[in-house]
Homo-oligomer: A and B are copies of this chain.
Amino acid sequence: MKEIIECVPNISEGRNKDVIEEVIENLKQTNVKLLDYSSDPDHNRTVITFAGDRDSVKKGAVQVAKDAVRMIDLRKHTGTHPRMGSVDVIPFIPIKNVTMYDCVNLSKEVAEIISSELNVPVFLYAESATRESRRLLPEIRKGEFEGFFEKIKDPLWEPDYGPKEVHSSAGVTAVGAREFLIAYNINLNTKDINVAKRIARSIRESSGGLRFIQAKEMMLEDKGCVQVSINLLNYKKAPIYRVFEIVKMEAQRYGISVLESELVGLMPMRAALESLAYYIQLPELSEDSIVETKIYE
C-alpha cells in the first residue's frame, strides 16, 4: 500500500520570480509530486504544496529549506505576512496509508537535518510540539524575525533543534505534523485596515470567535484594499461557507462588501462540495456524485 504524505513549506519570497523558480525547479528534480505553488507579492511569500512517500517528501522538504536559506535574506524582507524564517514553516500532513504519528517522526527527522546542515534553529509545532505553548504557529512566530534575536534568549523559547542563536539571514523555522489546513483569504472593498482587524478578531478562535479558525488583517497595497487572511484548521467543523458568510455579515455593519475571496494552495474536494451543498440546499453532496475523467480510469 502506497503511503502519501503532503508537505506545504512556506518560504518568505513572493516577489522575485528568479528565486521562486529556482526553488521550484530544484524541487522538481527530487522524487516528489509537485501539486501547487502560489506566490503573493503583498504577503511576499510563496506556499508550495507537494506529496510523496516518507522518503521522497523528506528529501523534497530539505531541498526547499536549503534553497530558501541560501537565497532569501530576511534582513531585506518586507511584506504583510508575519514571518520568522527564510523557510518559515514546514508542515507534514498524513493523506493515505500513513499515520499522524509517522508524520510527527518525519518532522523530527527533517528538523534534525535542517538544523544541523543549515545551522538554523528549529521549533517543532502543531502535533509535533514538545510543549503546549508551541502548538500554535502564531505563538511561536510572535515577534517575527526581528524580535527573535531577543526572544530566543528566553529559556521558554529555546529551540527544539539546532543552535541557540538566530541564523543571521535565515532566522528560525517551524516544522511539524498537522491535519489538512485550508488557507483562504477574503478581500474587502475598503482601505481601512481597522475594519479587517475587527472582523479578523470577531471570527478567530484566539479572540473568542469560531473554533479552528485563525485570522489576521492584511493591507494589500497592490490591490488597494484590505484582506482578512484566514486558516481553516478543521474544514469539517468550521466550513468555508460559514466563515465566508460571517465575514460578509460582519463587514456589512461597516457598510463594507466583499470584493473577492481567494484560495491559497489546495482544498479537499469534500470541503468544496459541502459548501456548495449549503448554498444550493442539497441535503448531501457526496464525492461519488462527482464526475471527472479520472474516475473512469
Q: What residues make up the interface of A, taking CB atoms closer than 8 Å to B? A: 2, 4, 6, 33, 35-36, 51, 95-96, 180, 240-241, 244, 258-263, 265-269, 272-273, 275-276, 279-283, 285, 287-297
Cβ 8 A contact of A262, one of B263, B282, B293 = B282
Task: Name the B residues within 8 Å of A4 (CB-CB).
Answer: 293, 296-297
Report how far A296 CA is from B6 CA in the complex, Å: 9
Task: Name the B residues within 8 Å of A276 (CB-CB).
Answer: 272, 275-276, 279
Cβ 8 A contact of A293, one of B95, B272, B273, B297 = B95
Nearest to A265 among chain B residues (CB) is B289
Report copies per complex.
2
CB distance from A249 to the nearest CB of B (A): 14
Residue with the highest number of chain B CB atoms closer than 10 Å, among A35, A261, A285, A289 = A289
Decide: B261 and A290 in contact? CB cutoff 8 A.
no
20 contacts between A and B (CB under 8 A): A4-B296, A35-B291, A36-B288, A51-B296, A95-B291, A259-B281, A262-B283, A263-B282, A266-B290, A266-B291, A267-B291, A268-B292, A269-B269, A269-B290, A269-B291, A272-B272, A272-B273, A276-B276, A287-B292, A294-B294
Task: Name the B residues within 8 Å of A261 (CB-CB).
Answer: 280-282
Decide: A291 and B263 in contact? CB cutoff 8 A.
no
Task: Name the B residues within 8 Å of A291 (CB-CB).
Answer: 6, 35, 95, 180, 266-269
Report how far A288 CA is from B33 CA in the complex, Å: 13
CB distance from A211 to the nearest CB of B (A): 20
Task: Name the B residues within 8 Å of A293 (CB-CB).
Answer: 4, 95-96
Decide: B269 and A275 in contact? CB cutoff 8 A.
no
Cβ 8 A contact of A263, one of B6, B285, B295 = B285
Cβ 8 A contact of A290, one of B33, B95, B267, B275 = B267
Cβ 8 A contact of A258, one of B240, B258, B268, B281 = B281
Nearest to A38 among chain B residues (CB) is B289
Cβ 8 A contact of A244, one of B51, B272, B280 = B280
Report how far A295 CA is from B294 CA in the complex, Å: 9
Task: Name the B residues within 8 Å of A262 (CB-CB).
Answer: 282-283
Nearest to A293 among chain B residues (CB) is B96
Nearest to A4 among chain B residues (CB) is B296
Report how far A51 CA is from B2 CA in the complex, Å: 27
| 9 shortest interchain CB distances as A-B pairs | A276-B276, A279-B279, A269-B292, A4-B296, A266-B291, A244-B280, A269-B290, A260-B281, A268-B291
Decide: B260 and A272 in contact? CB cutoff 8 A.
no
Nearest to A243 among chain B residues (CB) is B280
Decide: A263 and B279 in contact? CB cutoff 8 A.
no
Nearest to A96 among chain B residues (CB) is B293
